[in-house]
Amino acid sequence: MGCKSAPRPLVVLLEKETEVLDEFYVDFESSIPSWDISVVRKFFNSHETVDAGFPHLGRARLDGRCHDTGLARDYPNWLTPAELQHHLGTKCFDCAEQSDVDRQLVYIYRLCPQYILALIRTAYRHQLAALRDTIWQHIACEASMRVKIPVDGFKTYLLEFHMPFLTLRCSAEAATDTHSPEGEPEPWSEIGSLVINCEQHKGLCKCMVREANVSVAVCGWDSNKWVCWAFSNTHSDPASCNEEEPDEEDMQEDYVGTDGNGPEDGLVIDTSQPIWGARQYWLRVVDLRMRIIHKEWKWLVMNMEQKVKAWTRGLGSKQREKAEELLEWTLQSMELLNILSEKLGMTIQAFTRFEGDKRYFLDIKDSRAVSTFDSLQETFEKLLGLQKKIMRLERSCDQTERIVQLLMAKVGNRISAETQEHSRESHKVNLATNRVSQQMAVLNRKSTQAAVESSRTTLVNVQLFLVTTPFVLALQYFGAEKDIFSFEKNPRTFSYAICVLFCALPLLTYGLGFLNQRWDKFSRRWFGKSKSEADQDLTPVDEEFQSLTAVC
C-alpha cells in the first residue's frame, strides 16, 4: 500500500511541476504554439487552491491482473492522487512480492491536476502520446471514437472514446454535486433549466440541464497487455454512493463501464471475470457507456418535447394575453434546443467517423463482440431519431415565435389604432375648447368696453353733479321765504355762496374719501382681510370711481 502524504496547495504544485508538463506535452522545440498544453495549463489555472490542511479524498480506482494466473493485485477501493502514484509507480512485471500486471484499469472520477500529475509521473514511454491525447481531449470536452495506430516508432494501438453529453436532474439533487470533495469548482456549468413534473418530489420541480463527459482510452502493444484510462464527470459521485465494502462473494463491478450504477441500469461488467482482449473490452465498455448516454439524451429530449408541446398547444386567447411571456420562453427554448442539437450532433459525427475504423475489429469471431456491434448500431439509430426530434422541436419553436410575433404585432396595431382614435377625440375637444375660449375673449372685450363706457358716463354725471349742485343749493336757499343765515339776499351774496359751494363740495368729497379709506384700514385690521384681497374685490368701475374721487 502507498503511504499517504499531505496535499500541497495547487499554486505551489503548479510552480514546481511546470517543467513536468512541458516535458510531457512538448516532444521537440517548435515555433507553433501547442494547443494541447494550452488546454491543460488553462485547466490547472482554473482550479482553486487546495487547503493543505484539508484531507484529500480518493476518487480513483485501480485494477491490475495477470493474464496467466488471473490473479489481481490488492488495492484500496478508492485512491488519493498520492496513493495512485505510489501504486502506478510499482513495477508491473518481475515483482517478487506481487503478481504481474498485464491488464490495468485506471478509473478517475472528476479528473483534477493532482491525478493528472500522478499519471504523468508514472506513465511508460510508449504510453505518453496516448495519455497526452486522452487527457487534453477529456478536458476540452471533445467528441471522438477512433482507433489510432502510430506510423513509426514503437508499435502500439490506442482505442479512444470521448463523449460529451447533457443530463437533466432536479435542482435539489444537482446542488449536492456543485462542488467536488476537495472544494474544487464543478468543471461543467449549468446551461439551462426545465420545470417538469417530478415523481420523486410529487409535483413540479425545477431541473437543471448540465454538461457531462466520459473518456475511455485503451493503449497497449499486445492484445492481452494493455492499460485502460477512464475519466468520468457525471452528476453522481460513485465514491459517496457506494460506501459499503463489497463482500468477496458479491460481484465486483467495473466502474469504467458504469460509474458504479450498473446493477440499477442492468448494465454491468464483473471485474472478477475479466475480459482479456483489449478490443473486446473496449467495445463492451463503449456499448455500455453509449446505452447510458442514450438514456440521458432520451430523458432530456422527451421532457423538452413535452414542455414545448404544452406551451405551444392551441395558442388561443389565453396565450394571447401572455404573448410576451410565451415569446421569451420560446427564445429560451430555441437557445437550449440549439445547444442540444450541437452536442448531439457531435456524438453522431463521432459515430459516423467510427464507421471507417470498424475494420479494425472485423477479425474478431467472438459472438459477444458481434452482438456488441449490433447494439452500438441500434444505439446510433436511436440517437439519430432523437436528433430528428430535436430538429422538429426547433421548427415548432420557430413557427411559434413567428405566430407570437404576429400576435404581438396585431395587438400593437390595435393599441396604436386606439391611441390614434383617442388622439383625434382629444384634438376635437381641444378645438372646441379653443373656440369657447375665443368666444369668452370676445365677450370679455365687450364687457370691458361696456365698463369703460359706464365709467365715462359716471365721470360725466359726477362732473355735472359737482357743477350744478352749487347753483341748485344757492337757488334753493335764496328762493326760500325764511332766512337761515344772517346776510342779505342780493346778487353779490349769491355769487359768494356759489363760490363757497364750489370750494366746499370738492373738499367734502375728499374728506369723505379719506374717511372711507380709514374705515377700510380699520375693517381689515379687525376682520383680517388683506389689502391685496380687498383690491381684488374692486371692479374696474370702482377703480375708476376712486380715481375720479381722487381727481375731484
**Is residue 209 in some structural domain?**
yes
Going residue by residue through the chain, which has 552 residues, state the pLDDT in tens, using 9 for 90 and above: 333 333 333 334 444 556 677 677 766 556 677 788 888 888 888 875 443 333 456 789 999 998 888 888 888 989 999 999 999 988 877 666 778 888 999 999 999 989 999 999 998 888 888 999 999 999 999 999 999 988 776 688 999 999 999 999 887 655 445 444 444 445 456 778 878 777 776 778 888 899 999 999 999 988 889 999 999 998 777 766 555 555 555 667 889 988 777 655 556 787 778 899 999 999 999 999 999 999 999 999 999 998 888 877 756 555 555 777 777 778 888 889 999 999 999 999 999 999 889 889 988 888 888 889 999 999 999 999 999 999 999 998 888 878 777 777 777 788 888 888 899 999 999 999 999 999 999 999 999 999 888 888 888 887 787 778 878 777 777 777 677 776 777 788 878 788 887 788 888 887 888 888 888 888 888 876 555 555 555 555 455 545 545 544
Residues 506 and 399 in one domain: no
Residues 300 and 408 in one domain: yes
Helix (H) or strand (E) holding 120: helix 113-122
pTM to 2 decimals?
0.70
What is the rounded CA–CA span in Å between residue 134 and residue 216? Answer: 8
Instruction: State whether residue 150 is helix, strand or coil.
Output: coil
**Is residue 446 in some structural domain?**
no
What is the rounded CA–CA span in Å between residue 217 and residue 108? Answer: 12
Residues 91 and 200 in one domain: yes
**Is residue 23 in some structural domain?**
yes
Residues 230 and 320 in one domain: yes
Query: How many CB atoms are located within 10 Å of the residue 3 CB?
Result: 7
Residues 279 and 386 in one domain: yes
Q: Which of 392, 412, 432 is the last residue of a domain?
A: 412
Residues 161 and 302 in one domain: yes
Query: How many CB atoms are located within 10 Å of the residue 488 CB?
Result: 8
Residues 293 and 176 in one domain: yes
C-alpha dist (Å) from residue 375 to 95, 178, 294, 369, 380: 40, 34, 12, 10, 9
Residues 48 and 153 in one domain: yes
**Is residue 458 in some structural domain?**
no
**Is residue 19 in some structural domain?**
yes
What is the rounded CA–CA span in Å between residue 60 and residue 231? Answer: 9
Residues 381 and 505 in one domain: no
Which neighbouring-strand residues pair with 169? Answer: 208
Range of the domain at 509: 480-552
Instruction: State the residue for C-alpha cell 493543505.
Output: 52
**Which cell numbers in the block locate residue 346?**
457531435
Q: Which of 366, 383, 412 is the last residue of a domain?
A: 412
3-state DSSP of 352-397 = HHHHHHHHHHCCCCCHHHHHHHHHHHHHHHHHHHHHHHHHHHHHHH
Residues 370 and 515 in one domain: no
Number of domains in the chain: 2
Residues 370 and 496 in one domain: no
Contact 66, 102 (CB under 8 A): yes
What is the DSSP-derived secondary structure letter of residue 482?
A: S
**Is residue 96 in some structural domain?**
yes
**Is residue 463 in some structural domain?**
no
> Phi and psi at residue 213, in whole multiples of 5°?
-155, 140
Q: Which of 362, 392, 412 is the last residue of a domain?
A: 412
Residues 261 and 355 in one domain: yes
**Is residue 470 in some structural domain?**
no
